[in-house]
Each structure stands twice: as C-alpha cells, then as structure tokens.
Amino acid sequence: MGKKPNIIFLLEDQQQAQAIEPDHFCKTPNIEMLMQDCVVFNRAHTCNAVCSPSRASLMTGVLPHNHGMIDCTHTVPAYRAEYDAKLDTLSRVLKREGYAMAYYGKWHIERTNKLENYGFDEYETETMIPKFHHTPIDQVTIHTEGYVDKIIAGVFAEDETATEEYYIYNRAMDFMRRQENQKEPWCAFISTYAPHDPYSVPKEIYDSYRKEEILLPESFLDTMEDKPAVYRRLQSVWKDLGADEVKKILRCYYSYCTLVDRQIGRLISYLKESDQYENTLIVYLADHGDLMGAHGLFCKGVPAFEEIYHIPLFMKLPGGQYRGKEMNQLAGTCDIAPTVLELAGLSGLLGKIDGHSLAPWISGLRNDSRMAYAEFQGQRYAYTQRIIWMDNYKYVFNTFDYDEFYDLASDPYEKKNEINNLKYQEVIKTMAGKMWEIIKETGDSTMMDAQYYMLRIAPLGPGESRRGSGYSTYNKEF
C-alpha cells in the first residue's frame, strides 16, 4: 500500500447486529449501502456485554482481565475496575505513525478523560458535549417498587439537528475538512451514544415507522425454564409492560438506529464529494448489542444471548479492495485493532495482545476455522461468566448457576439450553477444555487457579495450575 489511508471508526453503542441486517425492517439504507463496499464479518462477537470493558479491548487488543477495566467506569469504584494506562493502544500506534487524531462522542474507556494521553490531538467526549434539551411527546417508563421510575423510550418534538448524534458527526466532518489540504493522514473516531437506552428519538423519524409492522422477537415468549434463574428473575422487570408499550420501545430503538444511519449517510456523501472516500478505511462496529425483547428482556447484562454478544463489524478498505467479501470465520473485539493496523500497512501494538489480525483470512492466505471468546465479571452485582464459540456451538460457563450450551445452527434464537443433552456432552467438555486453554494463554489467573473445593463446578477442570509462592503458601500440601 502506498499512501497511508485515512481511517474512520464508526462506533455505535448497543447496536444489535440483527437490526441492521438487509432483510430487517429497521430503516438503515446508508449502512446497507456502506456494507456493500465492505468486508463483512458475519460472525463477530464482543468480548464483553457492557461498554467500558469492550471499548478498552478495542483500543488495546487485550481481554478485560488484562486491561483491568472489567466493568463500566461509572458503576464501580477503582478497586473493582481500573484501567492499565501503561498498555499500548490503537490510537497511540496511529499517532506514532504520523496520523492527525480526533475523537468525538462517547469515550467510556478509562476515568481520566484526558485523551491527549492516548494520542488524540483533539476530542470532545461525553463530559464535554453540550446538553440537548428536548420537548417530550410520548414516553415509556419502567416502574419497579422501591426504585426510581426510569424512562426507557420516548419521542420528542425537535428534529434530528437537535441531537447529539447530528452534533458529533458535524464536529468530525469539520475536523476532516480542516485536514483536506494537509500532508499527514488522519484518523477520526465517531462514537455515538445511540442506540443505547433510553431510546429517545425525534418524532419525524419515529413517524417514519408508522406503517411498519413491528414484529416481536422470535424468542419473546421464552419462559427460560431451562436457563439460569437470574435470567427469569430479570424478566420480572418488564412484566408490567403491555403489548403496545413493548412495540413502542422496539419502534423507538429502531428509530434511534435510523437516526445514526442518517448521520452516516451525511458522512459518506461528504467523503465522496471531497474525493476522500476511496482512500479512507472505514470501520463500522458496536461495543455490544441489545436484547431488544429477545427472551422477554431488554438492554444488556448477564443474559449471554446472541442479541448482546453478536456485533456488527465491517470494514471498507481503500480502493475497493475485497469489496463485498463476506467472512464467516468467528471474530472478536480483540482482533479489530491488529486487523486494522495490518490492513493499513502500519506497525502493530507493542507488547503481548490477546487478539489476532484477521488480514490473512481476508486475503485468503488462511481459511481455517477460528474460535471467539468473551468474559464477563461485570455489572454491580459481579456476575462471572466465560463464553466460547466454536463452529456453530456456544458454551456459557456460569459460575452462579447452571451452564448453557446452544447449537446455533439448529437453534439460532437460543430457545433450548442443551447443557444436559447427552448428545452434546463430549462437545461441551471439548469446549470447556478450550476455554481453560484461553484462560491460561491470556493469564486469567483468577480463573486459572480455581482449584478450591467449592469452585469445582465446570464440566471439565483447568488441569494443572501455576504454582507460585502465593499458591503454595495458602494451599499447603500433605
């Protein structure tokens, strides 16, 4: 590759992959047009179900237990989750490679919010963006006894120009205009809050769905009798919602997706009009998804379903390279940074990382199958899970209840937990073994040394653990 390409990251918060598939009724024509110019990763998965851990993994290429931000920056104190600022980051590599760097929108990776420490020349994040005041027209509120009422969805009178999404895309395009006549390449991260809850949208976009039949998810009526008890307990949060309210929430969410799609359309038009589109590497992704009614649940959290973990990921390469190529190998959040850097012809992240570049699979040099892996320590109640995908199988190690196993080829909506099905027991043990291999390879010592009697609940154990001084001191042998 000759001239270094300009790079744009379009990072959406809580964007469900299924909602932007071409046959879905969610209106995202600009995303669909962009997708036609991209390498599309059909089986990408986030490494974590909530914002900060997955965003930090995007930047560092390492799993949450290695970068330290295992929960969201605002939900737990530092002793529960603290980002390791010494780690190299994607943005620091780009700065070393001579890029002008800009970040607009939601950061939510670490607590200093001083992005100059991470290579950015200019930025405007959630702590700096102006507040937009809206005139509410309609709302859906969740009432739970003893808790503060919380709005989950709503419609307001102002148009899209009065939204944060419109504002940050304007700021990013202003940055790009100022770079047009500069010799150095540039990189811009545009990180929208949308379509994260509460799903608050302009009436003009909400009304565009007036004639659409809002369909409930295939698994909406799942009683989850064969799944962890806490999943069923979470269904009670939404038990008082009527059918009309559920459909209103769905309509607001899809309208929120449309709001972002419109901004992407404005960006693509600008890039083409300014003759920058061809030499720009564009990465579209989400930090995680949203249940959006699947299994009778909304938002994201401990329920380890595909609506949360399967994320959209596609990359438009300079000069139309690999345009329209679909990748069916499994991929993960930690793979994104090394992949982008290799595709752009740039140096890699310093130090050991947990991800791998997908460039050899894109080019066809490799066609072997891959695994995907995720970990969850998060949310205030500290649920702990490890999740692994192999072929069409998915295994969820739940430390707080029975495990889960799904055959996604025959059961894509995860209606039936096959963890006790004799047919799959050898596959489950194989996947548990692969899980322990990843735990050991990535230095997840908390899990790796889980040899104590009261921790022996996996279908297959980790085998030999490390035997450091701490282990021998507190685990005496006869």
pLDDT at 464: 82
Q: Is the pLDDT of residue 469 over 50?
A: no
| Residue 82 and residue 66 in contact, taking contact as beta carbons nearer than 8 Å | no
Q: Which two tokens stand for residue 450?
A: 């889980």
pLDDT digit string, tens, across residues 80-113:
999 999 999 999 999 999 999 999 999 999 999 9
pLDDT category of residue 471 using cuts at 50, 70 and 90: low
pLDDT digit string, tens, across residues 224-262:
999 999 999 999 999 999 999 999 999 999 999 999 999
pLDDT at 467: 56
Q: Which two tokens stand for residue 447?
A: 């899990």
Q: Is the pLDDT of residue 203 over 70?
A: yes
Q: Which two tokens stand for residue 81?
A: 């989750």
The rounded percent of the chain whose pLDDT value lies above 70 is 97
Q: Is the pLDDT of residue 382 over 60?
A: yes
- Region 134-139 average pLDDT: 98
Instruction: From 362, 452, 359, 435, select the one nearest 397 (Cα to Cα).
Output: 435
- Region 192-200 average pLDDT: 98
pLDDT at 33: 97
pLDDT at 92: 98
**Cα 300 from Cα 425, distance rounded (Å):** 29
pLDDT category of residue 3 using cuts at 50, 70 and 90: confident
pLDDT at 472: 54
What number of other Cβ atoms are within 10 A of residue 289's Cβ?
27
Q: Is the pLDDT of residue 1 over 60?
A: no
- Region 268-272 average pLDDT: 98
Pairing of strands 186-192, 6-12: parallel
Radius of gyration over every alpha carbon of the chain, rounded to an integer in angstroms:
22
pLDDT at 310: 98
- Region 384-400 average pLDDT: 98
